[in-house]
Amino acid sequence: MKLATKHRLAEPILALLCFLEAMIIPVFPEIMLAPMIIADRMRAWRLAAICTIASVSGGLAGYAIGYFLFDTVGRGIIEFYGAADGFETLRQSFNQNGPFMILVGAISPIPYKVITITSGVAGLDIWTFVVYGIIGRALRYFVPCGLFYFFGPVASEFIERHKKWAGVSMIVLVVVGFAMAPLLFPKGETGDLTPNHAEIEDINPEG
């Protein structure tokens, strides 16, 4: 295991995992991140930075899917995670509480791709999206990396003794994330999943 975590492709693979997690796949990068830090805790801050940058970049890709490719790609992802019901209410939530929604999605087990894609659909200000995405994702990765840095030996011993429960815990987090995704957004009118930015001209007519 330790040899695998120090492989020359370990960090690029971790970065790719964080990138894809933010835009489409339901996985927790911590599954790979934790063993890498335990194997060499001096890399904790470097790995946290890699995860944060890769995840924010993936979030921008998710935003682009919502903004430009919602009908062809984004719609299916939103429906897969159970957040299609009451889409008008969902979109309004992002328009009214965008920073809060991004922070909640970036830190919690809720699939972050639901947040990134819906931000694009809602036409959320891109700088608001990036800034709060960085804050949320940095908290998501730097806090546990810091814990592993300071308590690495203890964590390593605990995981070694309870491998089964550590694996079960990761599965539970994935299931909880799926369950929380639709609960985060109150159900309202079903709507037609039409991107909000397509209606800008109607909201601000010339003259």
Quote the pLDDT of residue 105.
82
Please report, for the chain, the start and end positions of each structural domain, with discontinuous segments joined by +.
7-196
Q: What angle do CA 111, 117, 65 make, to 5 degrees?
A: 130
pTM over 0.85: no
Please report where in the chains the tokens 């990068």 appear, as a residue: 29
DSSP 3-state assignment of 6?
A: coil
3-state secondary structure 24-75: CCCCCCHHHHHHHHHHCHHHHHHHHHHHHHHHHHHHHHHHHHHHHCHHHHHH
- Average pLDDT per consecutive 10 residues, the chain (207 residues; last block may be shorter): 66 93 85 82 91 96 93 84 67 79 83 87 91 94 84 61 55 54 50 52 44
